[in-house]
Amino acid sequence: MPTRLNISEQELVARLQRNDRVAYEHLYDNYSTALYGVINRVITDEEMACDVLQEAFVKIWNNIHGYDAAKGKLFTWMLNICRNLAIDKTRSKDYSNNQKNQSAEKSVSQLERIHTETIKPDQIGLREVVGQLDPNERFLIDLMYFKGYTQAEIAEEYNMPLGTVKTRLRSATMNLRKLFK
């Protein structure tokens, strides 16, 4: 059950800066769900999103003295911390390796979740359009956009010159634009 404090944001910040345990509980109980939602938009893996949320609250608690009310609301400050940590996590080597090596069951579960929460590719004809690409272009589009590889990772893993990967992806992107028109 969320802790209820009937105090202003300014008083909440002051209590947090004094390391008031009840204020910390209030902060977590009342803001964690919204902040998790922000993180989960960036990181779809629930376990990893929970880890980032925990990391975010530790960062919030450790840096509460750096919060400046003149620059914005407390929630906006916390939201930016969460979003930045989530983005940093997706850029980490650990995250990209995890995405490439996840189990088939987890991949299917994530895809089903994404499928129900976002635009359905079949409704906009994405499958058919990508299917019209040259097989090499389709392969690179699949690796980059659907499996999360970077251009450098594709070049390294498939022993291709980076320039070739970039050129083929640019060509594939231009062809997709033409096909969508």
Q: What is the pLDDT of residues 109-143, one digit of tens each?
A: 555 555 554 444 444 456 677 778 888 888 888 77
Structural domain range at position 156? 119-180
Is residue 86 domain-shared with residue 130, that is, in the same domain?
no
Q: How far apart are the first and last CA of the chain?
A: 52
3-state secondary structure of 43: coil
Residue 148 forms part of a structural domain: yes
Residue 146 forms part of a structural domain: yes
Is residue 31 domain-shared with residue 81, that is, in the same domain?
yes
Give per-residue burial for 94-115: e unless 16+ CB within 10 Å, then b: ebbebbeeeeeeeeeeeeeeee
Is residue 65 domain-shared with residue 24, that is, in the same domain?
yes
Total of domains in the chain: 2
Residue 103 forms part of a structural domain: no
Residue 2 forms part of a structural domain: no
Is residue 153 domain-shared with residue 90, that is, in the same domain?
no
Q: What is the pLDDT of residues 78-95, one digit of tens each?
A: 988 998 898 888 887 665
Which of 41, 137, 126 has its CA nearest to residue 82? 41
What integer pLDDT is reported at residue 16 of this predicted model?
A: 93
Is residue 64 domain-shared with residue 129, that is, in the same domain?
no
Read off the CATH number of the domain in which 66 is found.
1.10.1740.10
How far, in Å, are 88, 99, 138 from residue 92 at the CA level? 6, 11, 26
Q: Which of 55, 79, 94 is the last residue of a domain?
A: 94
Does the reported pTM lie above 0.75?
no
